[in-house]
Every structure is written in C-alpha cells, then in structure tokens.
Structure 1
Amino acid sequence: MQEYIQKRVLEICAYILETGATVRQAARRFNVSKSTVHKDMTERLPSLNKELAASVRQILEQNKAERHLRGGEATRQKYRQPA
C-alpha cells in the first residue's frame, strides 16, 4: 500500500473515531468518494491496525443501524420548511 493511502486511511480512521462521523460525512470532509472511505475502513485499515479497525467497524455498524432514523428526520425537515 502506498504511503499516501496509508496516511489517508489513518486520518479518516482518527476522524471517525473522534466524531462518530458517517461514511458520507467522512467522504465529504476528506474530498473522496463514499466507496473509497468504505474500502479504506473495511479492507485497508485492518491490514494496518486491527484494534483501530474493530473500533471503527463498531461505529460504522451503529451508524448503519441508525441511518433509517436520520433519513426520516431529513424528510420530516424537508416538508416542514415553508415552500
């Protein structure tokens, strides 16, 4: 793995651990695609640091479990705003 990729993986990992960010939020913050963030966290991070990977996986699973709530809230806000 190239050095710049390793650096990006660890930076995204630290950001997710600090903020509990979703894949979309991390992608927006680091100006990469959601697919890149997902691949970095699920495939590349475990080869660098298994403990960090386990911690990030836990946060991503929690975000996945809550995503239907965030989506419902976004829809609610959209229709609550006056047109």
Structure 2
Amino acid sequence: MKQSVDDRAAMLGEYIVQNKATVRRAAKQFGVSKSTVHKDVAERLRHVDMGLYKEVRDVLAVNKAQRHIRGGMATKRKYEHKSRK
C-alpha cells in the first residue's frame, strides 16, 4: 500500500530532525528525489505538523549555512587525491 504524501512529509521531517540530515541524504534514504523532499518538508509539512516544520526549517538552515564549508572540503580532498597520483 502506498503511503500518503502527508505521511511521507512527516516521516521525512522526523528523519531530518533526528539525524540532522541534509535534503540529499533524506532523499537517498527514502528513495525519492531531492525536489520531492524539499517540497514535502517546505510546503506540505507546514499543513501537517507546524512544530515539526519549524524544527526541520532550523536543521535545514544550519545545513545551508554549512554548505559552503562541506563543498570546500570536498574540493580539497579531490585535489589532494589528484596530487598524489
């Protein structure tokens, strides 16, 4: 049986809050696209559970603030690996 989109939004929200997960990680875990995760937690979750929506919004704000750091670290690892060859 397929789950409803509201149930999926709540499950995604709980996963993101419990694991401090990124949208990409949540999408991979649930087997849906990043667009689906974002739409579920940014729009649908607001109508399902306002408290959870606010918690998810806070986690995603932290992830967004740290995004440039993670990208920089990935680039650093990439070029360190290339220089070793």
TM-score by length of structure 1 reads: 0.91
Q: Structure 1, residues 47-82: CA drift from partner, whole Å, max 9, x if none?
A: 001111001000001101110000000111111123
Higher relative contact order at CA 8 Å, sep ≥6: structure 1 or structure 2?
Answer: 2
Number of corresponding residues = 82
The Cα shift of 1:7 comes to 1.7
**Correspondence for 1:80:** 80
Q: Distance in 1 between matches of 2:50 and 2:7?
A: 16
The ranges of structure 1 where at least 4 consecutive aligned residues each deviate by more than 2 angstroms after the TM superposition are: none
Letter in 2 for 1:52: L
**Correspondence for 1:65:** 65
TM-score by length of structure 2 reads: 0.89
Residue 18 of structure 1 pairs with residue 18 of structure 2: yes
* CA root-mean-square deviation: 1.4
* Structure 2: runs of 5+ lacking an equivalent: none
Letter in 1 for 2:76: R
* Structure 1: runs of 5+ lacking an equivalent: none
User: Matched residue of 2:4: which SS?
Assistant: helix
Q: Distance in 1 between matches of 2:80 and 2:30?
A: 31
**Correspondence for 2:47:** 47
